[in-house]
Structure 1
């Protein structure tokens, strides 16, 4: 075990991988993606005498995982869909342990899409609307509005029409309406972020000495101050609406 960990430490560079992570790095380099490896990672992330050491290990783990995921997915693609799904699930859980929310959501999305495309007739791997809904809410909560909108749409697709004809059809219809409301909210927040990003880019150009006549796009006028103010108010109101709709959805 010690030899395996030392080899990994040398391979990745002494300044990048801590001693606690060296064994996990070695497992990754040998394409070992099982629960045992996740336990090794979890142990490494909890090792350390102080907060600074823990944060350093966590940062190194995120970097290691990001550097390893592309190669692992490429190798799994050669083996087949089963290997692809296993690797996606492994990295989703590993990124979650390391606190890399964005990468975790990306791998969860890849796994859901793969199951949707390849395992729709498999009772164990079939994707139900609850999974899409959970993923959509997690994406929305963490600010990934565009992907949240797509996931809410997938959740709606997977609610079978027969479910709306049951004895609790009113509750089901209310749930569908709430999901649609959250999807609309995600689209709205995504559009607002796009506008705000363009506005920030405009101000950056302006303060950098670019001509004051420069617009965000050559054919568009710059946003007036009153519109930016209304956008700020709308953002606050939509956040309140998000909390309200989430409570309603949880009560159904």
Structure 2
């Protein structure tokens, strides 16, 4: 009971830090302490509550920093990425990682130090494929190839060129895996839809047949009664 009360206090403190926009190491450590709870059942509930809270807060945070300098934006993005990674929200974490790299890519002309390497794109593509985000992973692979070829054009030393060729081959392999998985998902979706439609059709046909059988049986039953009454009438008349 005391442990649960302590965790609730930490959650309240963490939420207040987010509301105050305190995106520092202290806030991250608070979250780590919350997630160090020994109770598995409570931890699942805590993660779910924190995920819901951060998903509701992150759009507001992004809007608030829209006019901030790029370094401030990246600090906030890095903080949110770490938080979502800790609470186990892979979708939000990967989405923010992608947005952060795109932001750096757009600012490269005025901030050369922000240039995104092909390795960073490649790593993100690998993680997206692992989590099943194949469509975005396919786009990320394209960015990795563009980045690598641009670097290759700027520096074509023999040893580095061979390394680049190996990297290109690996990125293309990731791209092929993403495209293949996308196709597989599409086939599975179509198969599921077909089976669902077929089940509905079979159920409808069974209902129609069942109703028809009931009507047919009812008709035969009424016909039998009429015949029996007719025979009784003839018998009475003969007497």
**TM-score bracket, shorter-length normalisation:** 0.7 to 0.9
C-alpha distance in structure 2 between counterparts of 1:206 and 1:93, whole Å: 46
- Deviation, 1:94, is 0.5
Looking at structure 2, the residues matched to 198 and 120 of structure 1 have their Cα atoms a distance apart, in angstroms, of 44
The separation in 2 between residues aligned to 1:29 and 1:65, in whole angstroms, is 11
Cα-to-partner distance string for 1:110-149 (whole Å, 9 max, x where unaligned): 1011111123453432211111111011111111111111
1:105 alignment counterpart: 94
Contact 1:164 1:173 in 2 (8 A): no
The 5 Å alignment of 1:128-143 reads 128-143=117-132
For 2:187 and 2:69, the matched residues in 1 are separated by: 41
Q: Rate the CA distance shift 1:52–1:158 in 2: closer, same or farther, 3 A.
A: same
Q: In the alignment, which of 186, 191, 194 is matched to residue 199 of structure 1?
A: 191
Give the structure 1 partner of residue 9 of structure 2: 19
Which residue matches 2:217?
none
Change in CA separation of 1:153 and 1:99 when aligned onto 2, cut-off 3 Å:
same
Q: Which of the numbers 147, 172, 175 marks the counterpart of 2:164? A: 172
- Among 123, 135, 139, the residue aligned to 1:146: 135
Contact preservation (8 Å) 2:107, 2:114: no
1:40 aligns with 30
Q: Structure 1 residues 134 and 56, CA, compared in 2 at 3 Å: closer, same or farther?
A: same
| TM-aligned CA deviation for residue 18 of structure 1 | 3.7
**Which residue in 1 is equivalent to 2:174?**
182
Provide the C-alpha distance between the structure 2 equivalents of 1:201 and 1:87, rounded to a whole number of angstroms.
42
Task: Quote how far apart the aligned CAs of 1:181 are.
Answer: 2.0
Greater helix share, structure number:
2
Take 2:109 and 2:134, find their aligned partners in 1: how far apart are those partners?
A: 26
**TM-score, normalising length from structure 1?**
0.70
CA RMSD after TM alignment: 2.5
Per-residue deviation, residues 37-79 of structure 1 (Å, max 9, x unmatched): 1111111111x34211222212211111111111111111143
Count of residues in correspondence between the two structures: 196
Unpaired runs of 5+ residues, structure 1, are 1-5, 7-16, 213-252
* Structure 1 residues 87 and 171: CA distance shift in structure 2, 3 A: closer
- Give 5+ residue unaligned stretches, structure 2: 205-239
Q: How does 1:45-124 map to 2 (within 5 A)?
A: 45-46=35-36, 48-124=37-113
SS at match of 1:191: helix
Partners of 1:92 and 1:107 within 8 A in 2: yes
Question: If you compute each CA radius of gyration, which structure gives the higher value, 1 or 2?
Answer: 2
> Could you tell me whether the CA contact under 8 Å between 2:152 and 2:161 is conserved in 1?
no
CA contact (8 A) 1:133 1:155 kept: yes
Residue 167 of structure 1 aligns to a residue whose secondary structure is helix
